[in-house]
Amino acid sequence: MAAEKNSKFEKVTFDIDKNNNFSEWFTEIIKRAELADLRYNVKGFLVFQPWSVIVMEKMYSLLEVNLQKKGHNPYWYPVVIPEKNFLVEKDHVEGFAPEVFWVTEHGAGEKLEEKLALRPTSETAFYQMFAWWIRSYNDLPLKTYQRGAVYRYETKATRPFLRSREFHWIEAHNAFATHEEALQQVKEDMQITQEFMGEQLGIPTIFFQRPQWDKFPGALNTFAADSLMPDGKTIQQPSSHDLGQNFSKAFKVLFTDKDGKEKHPFITCYGPAISRIFASLIAIHGDNNGLRFPFEVAPKQIVIVPIAVQKEKKLIPFVKKLALELQEAGYRVELDLSDRKPGDKFYFWEMKGVPLRIEVGPKELQQKKLTLFRRDTKKKEVIAQKELLKWIPKTGKALSENLKKQASHLFDGAIKNADSFEELARLVNTRGFVKCNFCADGKEGEECAEKVEKELAADIRGKRADKKESPFGSQKCVVCGKPSKEVFYIAKQY
């Protein structure tokens, strides 16, 4: 696909210090790279544009392949949920009621017989169907998922991709005969997150078990991955919830076990928010000149820029043929035939984050060579034309690995220890997580958490889900000074 003859951007260069002015960087790159248009006239809703949609479609594909490989089957559920479904599970309705968008009328202002919610999450939709589908232990495990959008009346300040009132995600819902199988699914969810975010997207995360006062409404326990943004704040990524039998009892989901007795299955749910993961993807890998994408998910993987076309008539037919050959080889290719200067084209496509650039001028054509540019290192090299199809996959993989390595390096130094409230107060304003002794995971701990939130504007993220950690140093809670029973991580969050 060739670029338009004239670019709509008058200013081509992009130069904002991401680490010292992340807010401006994030706002400007969304506009300049045309990731989303914020002018839609409903607050908290935005129009996703092709440059973000293509990436998120690739992300959906990677995640769905992994889910299906692990036994999940896809479903499409209605976007509306009857009010009576929400009233079935008491804790769940109390947790989500303030965020629900309600549909109350149809036609010319006529009232509906029953209010319908735009789904804020789909437990109450899935599990009423589980009650129909699950009859015997032979029906278990049941592993399902759907991709779609959910709607929540977010009362905090909205931010594109990070926090909005409509976000795109996948939610998986599963039922098992035993609690042990359900807990194993939670571990599998963590594995899926690591494979998807860590290995495929190069986004480092830590999985925490959330404290009891911050668990998903209706869950026994909540586990969630956190990633870090360039300004040092954390953002919650995929979460996995051990729902026990709370929802299966509420929705009368029953199966006859091998012993002939009726039992309630144990249920889990898992929710990777694609649009929020996209925010981490662009924020973590981007640099002061714009976006940088891993090769596998980039909207365009290669841009071809012909140079001095007026000096060589054979150049245009050559680059068109080259673009077609690369497309037929399975790559997403942009051929820039616009009338902008070569330097402007270079800056533009670097800002857009295209991983690889091929430059071809009369000299390259004559010598049967190509000048190639890597967006991650900003280095050029010259190769023979016949080597291109070998060079691209090797270099694309190296580029993605380099982005992952750079992101991991920044994440490695993001955990600091605090053994007093004064030390916590100082460190919580630095980049990353602060590890602290905490009194307890319950009512007593919740009171200490409220003090942290009120006085430090920070949040308890939870305890590590991947390993057991014992109290250190004074072994006393950093807030109340009582003997510590937990090691919790604290950070500022979006």
Would the pLDDT of 8 be above 70?
Answer: no
Cα–Cα nearest to 364, from 385, 350, 345: 385
Closest CA to 415 of 349, 479, 469, 357: 469
pLDDT of 88? 87
Is residue 461 a contact partner of residue 491, using CB atoms and an 8 Å limit? yes
pLDDT at 3 > cutoff 50: no
Rounded to the nearest 5 degrees, what angle is found at the Cα of 30, between the Cα atoms of 24 and 36? Answer: 145
Residue 44 has pLDDT above 70, yes or no: yes
Q: 157 falls in which pLDDT band (50, 70, 90)? A: low
Q: What is the pTM of this model?
A: 0.93
Angstrom distance (rounded) from CA 222 to CA 7 = 48
DSSP state, residue 467: S
CB 494 within 8 A of CB 163: yes
Instruction: Report whether pLDDT(96) > 80.
Output: no
Percentage of the residues of the chain whose pLDDT score is greater than 70: 97
Measured at the CA of 148, the angle between CA 144 and CA 152, to 5 degrees, comes to: 110
Give tens-digit pLDDT for 140-154.
999 999 999 999 998
- pLDDT at residue 9 tops 50: no
Q: Per-residue confidence at 302, pLDDT binned at 50, 70, 90?
A: very high
Beta-bridged to residue 145, according to DSSP, are: 74, 172
Section 250-271 average pLDDT: 97
Is the pLDDT at 117 greater than 90? The verdict is yes
- pLDDT, one tens digit per residue, over 197-242 is 999 999 999 999 999 999 999 999 999 999 999 999 999 999 999 9
CATH code that applies to domain 302-395? 3.40.50.800
Residue 36 near residue 48 (C-beta atoms within 8 A) = yes
- Residues 45-73 have pLDDT tens digits of 999 999 999 999 999 999 999 999 999 99
Beta strand pairing status for 486-491 and 433-438? Answer: antiparallel
pLDDT band at 11 (very low <50, low <70, confident <90, very high): low
* CATH 3.40.190.10, domain 415-491, yes or no: no
Average of per-residue pLDDT across 254-265 = 97
Contact between 77 and 71 under an 8 Å Cβ cutoff? The reply is no
Q: Compute CA distances 289 → 9, 13, 197, 244, whole Å.
A: 15, 8, 24, 48
Per residue in 401-456, pLDDT (tens digit) is 999 999 998 888 899 999 999 999 999 999 899 999 999 888 889 999 999 999 99
**Between these two residues, 2 and 120, which has the higher pLDDT value?**
120
Of 5 and 25, the one with more pLDDT: 25
Q: Which residues contact 48 (CB under 8 A, 6 or more apart)?
A: 35, 36, 56, 168, 275
Architecture of domain 22-285: 2-Layer Sandwich (3.30)
Domain layout of the chain by residue ranges: 22-285, 302-395, 415-491
Collect all residues with Cβ–Cβ distance below 8 Å to 65 and sequence separation of at least 6: none
Q: Chain-wide mean pLDDT for the chain?
A: 93
Q: What pLDDT band is residue 250 in, cutting at 50, 70 and 90?
A: very high
Report whether pLDDT(6) > 80: no
Asked whether residue 1 carries a pLDDT value surpassing 50, the answer given is no
As a whole number, mean pLDDT of residues 330-350 equals 95
Confidence of residue 7 (pLDDT cuts 50, 70, 90): very low
